[in-house]
């Protein structure tokens, strides 16, 4: 097992070096996934007995550890800073985006597992939402990896598209914050686009984005209740996987403690663990799997993203933001 974990760690470490030098669009998560795919397809390490157990452990158990620590991002005190318009805007946007996903999935011949996962990634917060939701949703790990790659790619494009649209539409700083914070997939994407337009836009966009991040909890929790009640044929209190309990507990801790150097360090560890898991997931994604699934996921995700941006613009006008 140690050999497999070690080789995945080496791939992640190399990815860290590459992402540190290159910057966006090659962030650590994306680079780890891509490098894992390349090395996995060239060296076929996932097919060698001495590496298999470590790679499987990395893509499952280490991923669960990363998900637990992700809960530290969910500081419920952010809710106190939000206005009614923000809550309405985000709730409508997330609900409509996820609802549209399976419809577009059928259009582009993508199965429901991958299409919903693509919708959740676009609607909430990219890699974090996908990795937190999928263990209870159950899409194949290979599909999850491809969805993460596509969502990160779309978010990178969005860094340039959303500020351009905000300027084209002559949006105010507040309106620009809603467009950027309400549509881009990761906090990094939002920060890059928002602060490029100024400090006020950046700070507003991050606040809106953090409310979207907070929605991971209700989505995971809600589906877990639904899944368990459906399996047992009645409404009941579900037995949640331990990582979900850990995820929600971490959210409670950070909401109580607030900003703290230990939480900051644990969030950094979460990112490292997630990158490690992404490298392992990438090693199990064959080029043939990308060929068979990649186009449908890209078309579905891209169309969802266009819808999401269009809806955000409409809501900005309708809500009088």
Q: What is the largest CA-CA distance in the chain?
A: 60
Identify which has the larger pLDDT, 235 or 183.
183
Asked if residue 130 is part of any domain, the answer here is: no
Q: What is the pLDDT of residues 143-153, one digit of tens each?
A: 999 999 899 88
Asked if residue 166 is part of any domain, the answer here is: yes
Asked if residue 71 is part of any domain, the answer here is: no
Domain that holds residue 94: 2-64+76-124+136-318
Identify which has the larger pLDDT, 236 or 279.
279
Asked if residue 70 is part of any domain, the answer here is: no
Asked if residue 215 is part of any domain, the answer here is: yes
Asked if residue 10 is part of any domain, the answer here is: yes
| Total domains in the fold of the chain | 1
- Of 99, 103, 137, 97, give the one whose Cα is nearest residue 117: 137
Distance CA 19, CA 310 (A): 31
Q: What is the pLDDT of residue 238?
A: 46
Lowest mean pLDDT among 20-24, 179-183, 250-254: 20-24
Residues in the chain, overall count: 321
């Amino acid at each position: 097992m140690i050999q497999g974990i070690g080789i995945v760690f080496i791939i992640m470490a190399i990815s860290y070096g590459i992402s540190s030098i290159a910057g966006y669009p090659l962030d650590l998560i994306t680079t780890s996934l891509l490098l894992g795919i390349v090395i996995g397809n060239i060296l076929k390490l996932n097919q060698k007995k001495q590496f298999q157990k470590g790679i499987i452990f990395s893509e499952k158990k280490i991923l669960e550890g990363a998900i637990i620590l992700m809960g530290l991002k969910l500081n419920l005190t952010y809710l106190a800073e939000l206005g009614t318009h923000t809550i309405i805007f985000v709730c409508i946007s997330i609900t409509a985006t996820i609802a549209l996903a399976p419809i577009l999935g059928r259009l582009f011949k993508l199965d429901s597992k991958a299409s919903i996962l693509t919708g959740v990634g676009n609607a909430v917060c990219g890699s974090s939402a996908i990795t937190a939701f999928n263990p209870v949703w159950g899409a194949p790990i290979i599909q999850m990896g491809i969805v993460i790659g596509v969502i990160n790619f779309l978010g990178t494009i969005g860094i340039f598209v959303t500020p351009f649209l905000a300027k084209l539409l002559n949006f105010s700083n507040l309106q620009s914050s809603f467009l950027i914070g309400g549509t881009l997939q990761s906090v990094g994407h939002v920060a890059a686009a928002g602060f490029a337009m100024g400090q006020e836009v950046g700070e507003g966009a991050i606040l809106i984005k953090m409310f979207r991040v907070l929605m991971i909890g209700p989505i995971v929790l809600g589906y877990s209740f639904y899944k368990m009640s459906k399996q047992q044929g009645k409404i009941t209190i579900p037995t949640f996987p331990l990582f979900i309990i850990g995820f929600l507990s971490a959210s409670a801790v950070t909401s109580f403690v607030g900003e703290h150097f230990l939480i900051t360090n644990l969030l950094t560890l979460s990112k490292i663990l997630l990158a490690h898991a992404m490298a392992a997931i990438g090693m199990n994604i064959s080029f043939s799997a990308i060929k068979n699934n990649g186009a449908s996921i890209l078309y579905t995700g891209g169309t969802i993203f266009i819808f999401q941006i269009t809806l955000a613009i409409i809501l900005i006008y309708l809500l009088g933001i």
